[in-house]
Amino acid sequence: MKRRSAIEPVIGHMKTNGHLGRCYLKGRQGDAANVVLSAVGYNFRRILAWLKTLLLAILSALGRALAITSLAKAAC
C-alpha cells in the first residue's frame, strides 16, 4: 500500500503535465509506447532540475574561491 501511495501522485502529474491523458498512437503497442515516453520525459525533467542545482552549487563554490583568491592578491 505504501508503494501505491508513492506512485499515484506521479501518475497524476504525468496525466496532467506529461501528456499521458490522451494517446494518439494506435493500438496496444501505442498505449505502451505512450506510457514509456511519458515516463522518460518525466525522468528527464527531474534529471535536468538536479543538474541545474548541481551547476549552481559548482558555480557558487567557484565564485567564492575566485573572490578569496582576488582578496588574497589584493592584500599583498
Q: How many structural domains compose the chain?
A: 1
Q: Is the pLDDT of residue 76 over 70?
A: no
Q: Is 18 exposed, middle or buried (0-12, 13-18, 19+ CB in 10 A)?
A: buried
What are the pLDDT digits (tens) for 1-23? 666 677 777 777 677 776 676 77
Q: How many residues does the chain have?
A: 76
Identify whether the C-beta of residue 23 lies closer than 8 Å to the C-beta of residue 34.
yes
State how far Cα 16 lies from the chain centre.
16
Average pLDDT in the 21-29 region? 77
Q: Is the pLDDT of residue 51 over 90?
A: yes
Chain position carrying cell 498512437: 25
Helix (H, G, I), strand (E, B) or coil at 72: helix
Domain extent, residue 26, equals: 2-75
What are the pLDDT digits (tens) for 38-49? 888 888 989 999
